Amino acid sequence: MFKYVGDISNIAHNIINTYCEGREVAVDCTLGNGFDCDFLSERFSKVYAFDIQKEAVERYSQKNKLNVLLIEDSHDNLDSYISEGIDVAMYNLGFLPGGDKSITTKSESSVKSIEKSLELLKSGGFITIAVYTGHEEGQRESEAIHKFVTTLPKSIFGVMIHSFANRDSKAPYLIIIEKK
């Protein structure tokens, strides 16, 4: 198993651990099975976690994490729940592993959510986006997000894409956005 070139979620965690200075408020925009939320809850004072699937929210609630606010709603409504500045927002797009694969994140709501996260993001904050292109909606989502992030003003945001060079063209990839 590779240490660095393995799981893109681990790369996102490493970037946050290494470079994020603020540790107050984080957002897990796609709760899913809770891997990112566990990571965030151990490092940040408060974590907002979104998922549209009741199953994901109920399962995670059993962990009784006092600093995690679970929200059964779409991440594109995050501004209805969060008004304070955030240090990190994490996205792990696609479908719930082990869940109904017909329920996926959607390009329109994901771009809308990323826009709203950027508005709340504090200076020095990060947004990580794990993009999965191995299904039809994932392809659309990838194109829409790529188009959006390439238009961000470079005087305010740094955008980097981590992708595999020697894997299938549908391999997942990671987008990192850092706010100056």
Task: Provide the 10 A C-beta neighbour count for residue 44.
Answer: 23
Dist CA 128 CA 90 (whole Å): 5
Structural domain contains residue 1: no
Domain extent for 120: 8-179
Token couple for 175:
């987008």
Mean pLDDT across the chain: 95
Tens digit of pLDDT for each residue in 138-171?
999 999 999 999 999 999 999 999 999 999 989 9
Structural domain contains residue 2: no
Nearest C-alpha neighbor of 69 from the set 54, 81, 77: 81
Dist CA 46 CA 167 (whole Å): 37
Mean pLDDT, range 75-80, rounded to an integer:
98
Dist CA 75 CA 132 (whole Å): 17
Tens digit of pLDDT for each residue in 106-134?
999 999 999 999 999 999 999 999 999 98
Structural domain contains residue 27: yes
- pLDDT for the residue numbered 2: 87
Mean pLDDT, range 70-79, rounded to an integer:
98
Q: Which helix (H) or strand (E) covers residue 16, if one does? A: helix 8-19
CATH code for position 149: 3.40.50.150
For residue 63, the SS3 value is coil
- pLDDT for the residue numbered 79: 97
pLDDT at 96 over 80: no
With bands split at pLDDT 50, 70 and 90, how would you rate the model's confidence at 175?
Answer: very high
**Contacts by 160-166, CB closer than 8 A, 24 or more apart:** 162/8, 162/11, 164/5
Structural domain contains residue 96: yes
- pLDDT for the residue numbered 72: 98
Domain count, the chain: 1
Q: Give me the residue label for tokens 């408020």.
A: 25
Structural domain contains residue 3: no
Tens digit of pLDDT for each residue in 24-42?
999 999 999 999 999 999 9
Nearest C-alpha neighbor of 36 from the set 76, 74, 9: 9
Structural domain contains residue 37: yes
pLDDT-above-90 percentage for the chain? 88
